[in-house]
Structure 1
């Protein structure tokens, strides 16, 4: 299977800090990293680690830091031939990471917001799965040749008036924003963090329990990894129960590591599932 991940390539700056130091003071931390990021980048890396092929469609600012970070993503197997360099500032995210793994973000959108629906249409017919990650609903378009078109709006959930995709991924807050809108989706997936996840399909509703993680390190990108694992599984013909279990395990393992691209491999997910499968209840 080949996936096209549509969205952003970010410079992620991750600093472990529970609060902003007062004026004229300083703070020493054991985590201060500059890593590749962006929801679409996290998704593409996760898909590749789970055994499928992935290419990223994005626009990036011409910048030496961006180039070095892109090399890391290429080394992980993601195709970047559809990433276009433009004369704009790079997209960046400053992530404040707390001891419990929770986080706050400050974003500078930069070149990433220049992506359009027409950019996506140029690649119709080339991919089995197209995933739109944290982009405006104006960019989302259904490829009639793709097996699966999925969308995780992230901060753009508030802008959705109508949408037509196979899979729509939201968290609980985003679900409250879109539940009365014109939503056409074969699967509506609601990610609930420590409470697991729920899927609303045409004929059933299923809920999966979360992994019990002893130490949550970093939740950056956990939702993107969930999306990737579910898409990988469902595109291979697995049922909802199996796909939810795979997504729950993959996203759960991710939060034990620093950075949005630190997703688990297929072998790691399978090894966990051999030992214990998350409980799924359908009705």
Structure 2
């Protein structure tokens, strides 16, 4: 395994200030609910991904656009402390992206209220993007085509997030620029893809579909692989679990070339994340490795 070889991952997407409330009661109009726990901190899929990469002892650079409050409240310094390169983060006078997240721990449900604000103005233009891997997270699919300005980057992945449910045609038109698609089960349903056509016409290597507590599935033109974890998970906060999955999958797939090994690490990472409160509170390597023995990989 070449895991110790340092990779540089470029994360392109959003920076948010996230407000998370953990509740145990159902929300009702004009009804006061007492939070079991709260968390305020950094969020945004690309931000979470960059922190996850850094906590796995690799290099992360974030390309994003945000508001001055991110600097004012010390969040940019927090990213630097995490080891993330923020030299390509554009600071505007707009409000930063903000997300209110309500997690019902008893029902295992999550509600997100998002204000994208400065995130909406992200433009890549002719920016040179160099690294071992580029990961696009929850961005307008038209931005993916700017990956052609990447001089030495070998691989590119995309997790469309909510874009999958209202930008289907744009995503399909830009899939030709990426190597693999990482997506959750609901968003994959929104795309309603002809998978065979996708592999034949667009050169996509594979699709990784995240299924929450049911594990994850890899689909390519020759086979399907299912991975699931067989142990009790103490779910506290699922926010960011998909980003932990993405970062671990990309790192270990690039390190080993073994899709089974990468899937095991990715599922372990997602499971480790849900046991931690906070969108960007990504797991460390030892937390991920402690769950590897519980992951089962099936081919069908």
Q: Deviations over 1:190-241 (max 9, x none)?
A: 1111111101124322110135334210100000110000000011133011
Match of residue 173, structure 1, among 186, 190, 194 = 186
CA shift in 2, pair 1:244/1:12, >3 Å:
same
Deviation (angstroms), 1:146: 1.2
Please give the alpha-carbon distance, in whole angstroms, between the structure 2 residues aligned to 1:4 and 1:138: 17
Match of residue 197, structure 1, among 201, 216, 221 = 216
Please give the alpha-carbon distance, in whole angstroms, between the structure 2 residues aligned to 1:157 and 1:145: 28
- Flag as ranges the 4+ runs of structure 1 deviating above 6 A: none
Which residue is 1:242 aligned to?
A: 261
Which residue is 1:147 aligned to?
A: 154
Please give the alpha-carbon distance, in whole angstroms, between the structure 2 residues aligned to 1:249 and 1:201: 22
Contact 2:229 2:294 in 1 (8 A): no
Q: Deviations over 1:44-78 (max 9, x none)?
A: 11111112110111000111676422222221111
Please give the alpha-carbon distance, in whole angstroms, between the structure 2 residues aligned to 1:229 and 1:127: 16
Contact 1:9 1:60 in 2 (8 A): yes
Which residue is 1:122 aligned to?
A: 127
Judge which range, 189-198 or 259-268, deviates more: 259-268
Residue 79 (str. 1) matches residue 90 (str. 2): no
Residues 101-140 of structure 1: matches in 2 within 5 Å? 101-118=108-125, 121-124=126-129, 126-140=130-144
Q: Secondary structure at 2:219's aligned position in 1?
A: strand
Q: Deviations over 1:143-181 (max 9, x none)?
A: 363121000000101312321211101122221232138
Q: TM-score, normalised by structure 1?
A: 0.91
Q: TM-score, normalised by structure 2?
A: 0.86
Please give the alpha-carbon distance, in whole angstroms, between the structure 2 residues aligned to 1:55 and 1:27: 39
Q: Structure 2, unaligned stretches of length 5 or more?
A: 1-6
Contact 2:230 2:294 in 1 (8 A): no
Q: Secondary structure at 1:203's aligned position in 2?
A: coil
Contact 2:231 2:294 in 1 (8 A): no
Judge which range, 95-104 or 33-42, deviates more: 95-104
Please give the alpha-carbon distance, in whole angstroms, between the structure 2 residues aligned to 1:272 and 1:73: 27
Q: Deviations over 1:86-123 (max 9, x none)?
A: 121111000001114431100001000111241xx412
Judge which range, 251-260 or 167-176, deviates more: 167-176
Of Structure 1 and Structure 2, the greater helix share is in 2
Please give the alpha-carbon distance, in whole angstroms, between the structure 2 residues aligned to 1:102 and 1:69: 28
Contact 2:128 2:151 in 1 (8 A): no
Q: Structure 1, unaligned stretches of length 5 or more?
A: none
Q: Secondary structure at 1:123's aligned position in 2?
A: coil
